[in-house]
Structure 1
Amino acid sequence: MNVASTNNVVGLHTNRVFESISAYLMKVERRSEHTRYNYEVAIRRFFMWHAKKSIEDLEVKDLDILNERMIRYQAHLLDDYDYGHNYVNALVAPIVKLYEHLSRNRYNVKAEDVRLDKLSDDGESYGKLTVKEAETMAKLAMKQKKGQEKATLIRVAYTTSFRKSSLLHIKWSDIYLDANSQNYIVKIIGKGNKKHSRPLSPDLYNEMLKIKEQTYYKKYNDNYVFHLSDNTILAMMKNLRAEMNISEDRNIVFHSFRNVAANYIKETGGDIEEIRSQLGHSNYSSLRHYMSDDEDYANMAGIRMLEYIDDNILEKLNKEELLQIINQQSESIKIILQREAKKIISKKENK
């Protein structure tokens, strides 16, 4: 694509590129302030990579781009940052929309030159982490620089299932104490400008407060909880994978934390509606991988509820046999049993 010089474009000046981008973002803001913010971030990020300039300094010549350059940008986001398909699609779409806007406003550009084939939905492409693995990562992250902040980010990530972009935009003012449950509630505006809220245990909230005690943290006064860059999080995950000997073929990335709770719900018998609510999806199309394709007829409800089992059958087993059954269960089931055991032990100790 060849961009005409300023002499060949009516009324076009080198400083008008930023004015045109600003006008486009104003239009987006009428639909949603949150969308406008995401679009601006995507546009700034692209031109900093493509032209090594902020959008305030762009010239008409900086708009010149071949489609193969966009292919390289897509690969950069996928390979250098471990971003998932959906997030990469979300970062590329605003660039296409911007070039459509520029084309309508007498710039000699074409949206086709920046348009890419949409990457497939990658709901299944992130490697799975168990609850224990996620917690181990949080503990190991404590040893890294900014350890308290990194460890807390991981714990908030896998308990709330918020996306990384939402986690990094949590403000202290977004968190409040729920008097009924005595848990803390964090509210965010997520994908599609939708509001989501998740509970934080008092212990986890206290871990968050410890971030404020860190010496380096005193320089921040923007009300945001986390101040970790994409590169910092990328390096953190790389170090954690190495320390835990996690092979590359497992494809464990930061986004893997988002699905920990959903997998826990599935393994402990929760239904698809609970999973949908946890992940904040508005529909079920992205939840296919939480539904089994294999029909296990022997374990369907119509068979299970008619099967007679002696109510006292567990009493016929000795300690070793009971432990054998427990140890054969999934990690999520064992966590439930351990939690119940803890309650019984606490009651005994408090007598």
Structure 2
Amino acid sequence: MSAALNNNVVGLHTNRVSESISAYLMKVKRRNENTYYNYEVAIRRFFMWYKNKTLEELKVEDLDILNEQMIRYQAHLLDDYDYGHNYVNALVAPIVKLYEHLSRNRYNVKAEDVRLDKLPDDGESYGELTVREAETMAKLVVKQKKGQEKSAIIRLAYTTSFRKSSLLHIKWSDITKDRSGTIYLVKAVGKGGKAHTRPISEDLYHELLKIKTQPYYQRYNDDYIFHLSKDTIRNMMNTLKEEMHITEERNVVFHSLRNVAAGYIKETGGDIEEIRDQLNHSDYNSLKHYMHKDTDYLNMAGIRMNEEIEDEILEGLSREELLSLIINQNETVRLILKREAKKMINEKGSK
């Protein structure tokens, strides 16, 4: 193609980039409405990061890109937003498809400029933490600098299952009470721009309020609850893992706190729908490690339905045997039993 003809082709596309992207998304929409929505969100997000422009503002020169800039975008999604590999792959793929479309329509771009090696499927399989370990972290971290704030964000993380990026964007105005006026609700925006609301205890709410009493906190007036950098949170976790002798092989990171409640639900007999709601997932693909991990055939419905155990079975145990039975349960079951025992003791004391 001659230089003059090439310039004419480029000229034809000047100020028409948004129309070309719109035509591409129209094709996607005809195939699948959900895919169209996800692709549009991913493409808009990328160009807002890359050029700080909406799709309607883009010009031909804004499409020029080096592959190393895509590598930085991938790192931005992984490090700044704490997204799992699968979601990052899903955000990058529409960019590659778009550049393929633009190349076929005579834009001077190549899909290779934005193509990245696919990150390995992690199923968000970060190292697991038990409820007890998460609670211990919240207690130990108090002695660190900004300890009250760090303790509160740890507790809020494993209680709500919000991602780190969502937690850091929560404002005081995002905490409200339900219609009964007895339960505190926290609203956060998750990946894909989806809002998610989770309840928190009155005790946790008052722990959050204690942040406002810290002397350093008086300099903030932006309504955000937390003022912790990503490096601060990473260093916090490294220190806690060292104190608690959590080995690197366990792959425990701050994101591990997000999955604590899901693990609790699984261990206490909750179903996959409850886990999906807790984690605010729109599909089941990211939950396969909860559905298929550590298959326990003895506890499957087909066995449990045909297993008859009389209600009086526990009466045949001595006090010591009952205590031994409780102590030998997993940590989550013990925690449930202790909470129920505390409730019963408190009720007796109030009579």
Q: State TM-score, norm by structure 2.
A: 0.76
Task: Give the structure 1 partner of residue 314 of structure 2.
Answer: 314
Q: Give the Cα separation in 2 of the matches to 1:76 and 1:196.
A: 23
The alpha-carbon distance between structure 1 residues 10 and 310, as it changes in their structure 2 partners (threshold 3 A), is: closer
**1:108-154 CA-partner distances (Å, limit 9, x unpaired):** 55342232133244225200000010111111111111111111111
In the alignment, the residues of structure 1 paired with residue 298 and residue 10 of structure 2 have an alpha-carbon distance, to the nearest angstrom, of 73
Change (3 A) 1:40 1:142: farther
CA distance in 1, matches of 2:287, 2:259: 11
Shift of 1:200: 1.1
Q: Distance in 2 between matches of 1:227 and 1:107?
A: 44
User: Given residue 177 of structure 1, which amino acid in structure 2 is its aligned partner?
Assistant: K
1:233 and 1:41 map into 2 onto residues whose CA distance is 26
- What percentage of aligned pairs have identical amino acids? 67
1:65 and 2:45 matched: no
CA distance in 2 between partners of 1:248 and 1:116 (Å): 27
Partner of 1:343: 343
2:280 aligned with 1:275: no
1:223 and 2:223 are equivalent in the alignment: yes
Going from structure 1 to structure 2, the CA distance change for 1:227 and 1:34 (only over 3 Å counts) comes to farther
Conserved 8 A contact 2:168-2:225: yes
Relative distance call for 1:65 and 1:244 in structure 2 (3 A) is same
Q: Please name the residue that 1:178 is paired with.
A: 178
Q: Which amino acid aligns with 2:50?
A: I
CA distance in 2, matches of 1:41, 1:210: 36
* Whole-angstrom CA distance in 2 between matches of 1:278 and 1:334: 22
Q: Retained in 1: the 8 A contact 2:43–2:95?
A: no
Alignment-derived partner of residue 122 in structure 1: 122
Q: Counterparts of 1:184-263 in structure 2 under 5 Å?
A: 184-263=184-263
Distance 1:241 1:174, change over 3 A: same
Cα distance, 1:160 vs structure 2: 0.5
TM-score norm. by structure 1 comes to: 0.76
Q: Is the 8 A contact 1:42 1:94 kept in 2?
A: no
Inter-partner Cα distance in structure 2 for 1:210 and 1:34: 37
The superposition leaves residues 48-68 of structure 1 with CA deviations (integer Å, 9 ceiling, x where unpaired) of xxxxxxxxxxxx89x66355x
Q: Alpha carbons of 1:175 and 1:202: their partners in 2 closer, same or farther (altered >3 Å)?
A: same
Q: Tell me, yes or no, if the aligned pair for 1:153 and 1:167 is still in contact at 8 Å.
A: yes
Moved more, 133-142 or 72-81: 72-81
Paired residue type of 1:279: L
Structure 1 pair 265–134 and aligned structure 2 pair: CA distance change class (3 A): same
Q: Aligned letter for 1:176?
A: T
Separation in 1, partners of 2:97, 2:218 = 40
Alignment match, 1:331: 331
The alpha carbon displacement at 1:301 in A equals: 2.6
CA distance in 1, matches of 2:182, 2:97: 45
Q: Are the structure 2 counterparts of residues 152 and 103 from structure 1 closer, same or farther at C-alpha, using a change threshold of 3 Å?
A: farther
Distance 1:268 1:44 in 2: 48
C-alpha spacing 1:293/1:211, structure 2 compared with 1 (3 Å) = closer
CA distance in 1 between counterparts of 2:91 and 2:144 reads 29
| Matches of 2:232 and 2:98, distance apart in 1 | 29
Residues 147-186 of structure 1 correspond to what in structure 2 (within 5 A)?
147-180=147-180, 182-186=182-186
The aligned length equals 324
Query: Quick one: which amino acid aligns to residue 215 of structure 2?
Result: T
Are the structure 2 counterparts of residues 298 and 263 from structure 1 closer, same or farther at C-alpha, using a change threshold of 3 Å?
Answer: closer
Matches within 5 A, 1:95-106: none
Contact 1:212 1:218 in 2 (8 A): yes
Q: Which amino acid aligns with 2:301?
A: A
Q: Which residue of 1 aligns with 2:132?
A: 132
| CA deviation vs aligned residue, 1:243-285 (integer Å, no higher than 9, x gap) | 1111000000011011100000000011111111111111212
User: SS of 1:196's equivalent?
Assistant: strand
Range with greater deviation from structure 2 (247-256 or 226-235)? 226-235
d(CA) in 2 for partners of 1:136, 1:37: 41
Unaligned runs of 5+ in 1: 1-6, 12-19, 46-59
* Helix, strand or coil at the partner of 1:142: helix
User: 1:10 Cα deviation (Å)?
Assistant: 7.7
1:265 aligns with 265
Q: 1:165 to 1:72 in 2, by over 3 A?
A: closer
Q: Tell me how far 1:195 sits from its aligned partner.
A: 2.0
Partner SS for 2:186: strand
Partner of 1:43: 50
Structure 2 match to 1:57? none
1:327 deviates by 1.5
Tell whether the 8 Å contact from 1:152 to 1:204 is kept in structure 2 after alignment.
yes
